[in-house]
Amino acid sequence: MLGLFGLLLGVGAIVAANQLEGGNLMQLVNLPAALIVVGGTLGAAIVQTPLSLLRRTGTLLQRARLTVGDNAHAKGLQQLIRWCITARRQGLVALEQEAAGLDDRFVRNGVQLLADGKSAEAVRATLEVELIAQEQRDLQAARVLESMGGYAPTMGIIGAVMGLIQVMAQLDQPDHLGSGIATAFVATVYGIGLANLLLLPLAARVRQMIDAHGLYREMMLEGLLLIAEGQGPKSIQLRLQGYLDTENATSTPA
C-alpha cells in the first residue's frame, strides 16, 4: 500500500507541475508513445530473459508486498526455542511432526535433517548450498527489473526520434505537426518515468525483500545448528538476539 502511495505521489507531482506550467492532462496522454515505451521495454526483456526467469520475476513481485520484518524474526526465534524444548524432552525424532507442518521449504528441510539425526556439520553443508542457490536465483529475477529500467528510457528516445521523423515528413502540413511533436516529447517522459517511478524502485524493493529473507533464513540456520549441538533455550535466545530489534526482543524462556 505504501508503495502504491509513493507511485501515485510521483505521478501526481508530474501532473501537478504540468498544470502549474499552464498545461493540461491530455497533453501527457499519448497512446502511440505508451505503446512504444511499454511494448519496447517488455519486448527487450523477453528477448534477454528465459521464460522460467520471467515467471520467477512475477512471483517475486507478488511476494514483494510481504516483507520479512522484526516480527517474523521474533516468531522464528520462538519456533526455534519451542523446537529446542521439544528435542530435549522427546528427542530429535519428535521434530519430524513439526517439519511436516512448515511452509518454508528451507526451514522444513532443516528441521527434517535434525529429525533424521544429521550432525550440525551435515545440516550446515546442506542448508548453506540451498541458501546461496536460492538467493542467486532471486537476484537474477531482480536484475530483470533493473534491466527493464535501463531499456525504458532508451525506448523513450526511440519514441522521440520516431515522433521527430513524423514531424519532418509533414513539414508541408502544419496542422499535423502537433501530434508528431507531442509523441516525441511525451515518449521521453514515459520512458524516464516508467524507469524511475516504477521499474527501478520495484527492483530495489525486491532486493530488500531478498536481503530480509536471507537474514531470516540465516537466523533459522544458526538456530537449527545450535539445536543440533545440544544448546539450551536460553543459549539460543542469547545467541540469536542480535537478529531482532530491541523493541521486539522477547523474554528469555525458562
Span 85-121, pLDDT tens digits:
999 999 999 999 888 888 889 999 999 999 998 999 9
User: How much is the pLDDT for 254?
Assistant: 35
Q: How far is the C-alpha of 201 from the C-alpha of 148, rounded, in Å?
A: 12
How many angstroms from the chain centroid is the CA of residue 85?
Answer: 35
- The ranges of the chain with pLDDT < 50 are 246-254
- Write out the DSSP string of 169-197: HTTT-GGGHHHHHHHHHHHHHHHHHHIII
- Axis crossing angle, helix 177-194 with helix 2-20, rounded to the nearest 10: 150
Question: For residues 133 and 22, is the Cβ–Cβ distance under 8 A?
Answer: no
Three-state SS across 49-61?
A: CCHHHHHHHHHHH
Q: How far is the C-alpha of 88 from the C-alpha of 91, rounded, in Å?
A: 6
Distances (CA, A) of 21 to 11, 16, 24, 26, 153: 16, 9, 9, 14, 24
User: How much is the pLDDT for 179?
Assistant: 63
